[in-house]
A = this chain, B = another copy of it.
Amino acid sequence: MSDLFPKKGHDHDRCVHSALAQAEKVCDRENARFTDMRRKVFTLIWQSHKAVTAYELLDALTAEGQRVQPPTVYRALEFLTELGLVHRIESLNAYFGCDRPDCEHLGQYFICTDCGRVAEAVNEDMSNAVRKAARSVGFTIQATTVEIKGLCHDCATH
Contact = CB atoms under 8 A, between A and B. Distances in A.
A3 B151 contact: no
Interface of A: 1-5, 90-91, 108, 110, 112-113, 119, 121, 123, 125-126, 128-130, 132-134, 136-153, 156
Contacts of A138: 1, 152-153, 156
A139 B123 contact: no
A137 B129 CA distance: 18
Copies of the chain in the assembly:
2
A92 to B, nearest CB: 9
B144 A133 contact: no
A136 B2 contact: yes
A108 B126 CA distance: 12
Nearest to A3: B137
A149 B134 CA distance: 10
B151 A139 contact: yes
Nearest to A145: B147
A136 B3 CA distance: 9
Nearest to A154: B138
B1 A145 contact: no
Taking each of A4, A123, A139, A150, which has the highest tally of chain B beta carbons within 10 Å of its own beta carbon? A139
Given A123-B133, A133-B121, A151 B145 contact: no
Nearest to A106: B148
A71 to B, nearest CB: 20
A156 B134 CA distance: 13
